[in-house]
Structure 1
Amino acid sequence: MAIDDLLDEHEQSERVLQWLRNNGAGLIGGIVLGLAAIGGWKWWEHRGEQTQLELSNQYQATLDAIKAKDKNAPAKVKALADSTYHDLAALELARSQVDARQNDAAIATLRAIRSSDPAITDVVNQRLARLLIEAKQADAALKLLANASSAGAMEVRGDAQFALGQLEQARASYSQALAKLDVASQQRRVIELKLNQAGGAPATPEAKS
């Protein structure tokens, strides 16, 4: 190898060493920060998994308390905090309260649910509206379902209107509920009977060619 080449390589090596002297601390610091970020993410991920596991176990313990008719079950439901677990446990608690003929307690339980899941909210409103109708508060049930759109909610709205003697409106609600259901749905038969009771008649489904 030529002397000039050796000198060039030596000069390049010196430049690299000088750059490391000047920037080594920053480079090492960046690597350390990167490793810390990865470690922090792993820790956060593990913490999230651990929290979900704890919530799941707490939820199961709450369901067991509800099934056993434990007087502390309502407190256990409340302790689940704002989560889907809380909403589902509260629905189960309300059902057990209805079975025990504690309708006022069930109404209070359902009213306390504040779910961010539209599907859960729809179920809560339907169950609460049914209890309100039974408690002679059909007007409140109608207000609760004012913006309802599911077949189940439309059926309950028809029930509230029927209870108030609003037969024309009830027929319309039952018909809208039927329009949202498949022809083979078991729920259709119940709604058709309600529609007949309100003075209407279900439309005959068109035969498929």
Structure 2
Amino acid sequence: MAVDELLDEHEQGERVRQWIRQNAIGVVGGIAVALVLVYGWGKWQDHLHGQRVAKGEAYTAFNEALAADDLEQARSLADSAGLSEGVYASLVPLDLAAAQVRAGDSEAAIATLSGIRDADPALAPVIARRLAVLLIDAGRTDEALAALGDARDAGSLEVRGDAERAAGRMEQAREAYAAALAALDETAPQRGLVRIKLIDAGGTPAADDGEQAR
């Protein structure tokens, strides 16, 4: 090997060692920061998991109190456990309203469901339908229709038909029931009840239930 090549290798080695001496603290510090971040992330995930478990247990206790008809205890548990965020902000009032209906206090149930804000998207149609059913039973059909909004799922259309029929608007009721039939799967067990409602409202279901009633 030529002397020049040996000198080049020696010079390159010296440069590497010099760079390490100059940057060793930064490299070690960067590794330390990375380790701290990984550790912190793990601890944060553990914290979140613990919160989820605690809220799940609190929700179970809440429903046990409802099952025992202790609505005040149920409310207290929900408040103390912070069940007012995420999906629990919709589940808790839904369960509470059902318990209030069982207790014979439909007006309280209406107030509970009406007070839900920023409902979970997956539960919003369920909340609207349950509120609408209670409003229909209370004779407040226009409020029931307003609660349903523009929903076009089969369940909402059926309840819309119930509201229109309760208000004496039979043509609109028939249209809603026919649309509900068209939106239902052919194997859905609810089809039979909706067909009966359509017939009782003066409609004639099509042979395949997929056409609008006459």
Equivalent pair of 1:56/1:85 in contact (CA under 8 Å)? no
Equivalent in the alignment of 2:151? 148
1:175 matches 2:207: no
Return 5+ residue gaps in structure 1 as ranges: none
Equivalent in the alignment of 1:114? 117
Per the alignment, in what secondary structure is the counterpart of residue 72 of structure 1?
A: helix
CA distance in 2: counterparts of 1:155 and 1:124, whole angstroms? 15
- Of all paired residues, the percent bearing the same amino acid is 45
Equivalent in the alignment of 1:33? 33
1:92-103 aligned within 5 A: 92-103=95-106
CA distance in 2: counterparts of 1:119 and 1:176, whole angstroms? 22
1:23-102 aligned within 5 A: 23-70=23-70, 71-78=72-79, 79-102=82-105
The Cα of 1:192 is off from its aligned counterpart by 1.3
The Cα of 1:110 is off from its aligned counterpart by 1.2
The Cα of 1:39 is off from its aligned counterpart by 1.4
Per the alignment, in what secondary structure is the counterpart of residue 83 of structure 1?
A: coil
Equivalent pair of 1:151/1:181 in contact (CA under 8 Å)? yes
Give the TM-score of the pair, scaled to structure 2: 0.88
Equivalent pair of 2:90/2:120 in contact (CA under 8 Å)? no
CA distance in 2: counterparts of 1:197 and 1:77, whole angstroms? 43
CA distance in 2: counterparts of 1:34 and 1:102, whole angstroms? 58
Return 5+ residue gaps in structure 2 as ranges: 210-214
Equivalent pair of 2:97/2:110 in contact (CA under 8 Å)? yes
TM-aligned CA distance change 1:15 to 1:157, over 3 Å: same
Deviations 1:16-60 (A, max 9, x none): 221112212221221112112211211221111111111111111
TM-aligned CA distance change 1:109 to 1:76, over 3 Å: farther
Q: CA RMSD in A?
A: 1.9
CA distance in 2: counterparts of 1:192 and 1:14, whole angstroms? 89
The Cα of 1:3 is off from its aligned counterpart by 6.6
Equivalent pair of 1:77/1:90 in contact (CA under 8 Å)? no
CA distance in 2: counterparts of 1:90 and 1:168, whole angstroms? 34
The Cα of 1:190 is off from its aligned counterpart by 1.2
Aligned pairs, how many?
Answer: 206
Residue type matched to 2:139 in 1?
Answer: K
Bigger Cα displacement from structure 2, 191-200 vs 74-83: 74-83
Give the TM-score of the pair, scaled to structure 1: 0.90
Equivalent in the alignment of 2:161? 158
The Cα of 1:184 is off from its aligned counterpart by 2.6
Per the alignment, in what secondary structure is the counterpart of residue 122 of structure 2?
A: helix
Equivalent pair of 1:77/1:86 in contact (CA under 8 Å)? no
Residue type matched to 1:147 in 2?
Answer: D
Equivalent pair of 2:86/2:120 in contact (CA under 8 Å)? no
CA distance in 1: counterparts of 2:119 and 2:128, whole angstroms? 13
Match of 1:133 among 132, 136, 141: 136
CA distance in 2: counterparts of 1:27 and 1:169, whole angstroms? 74
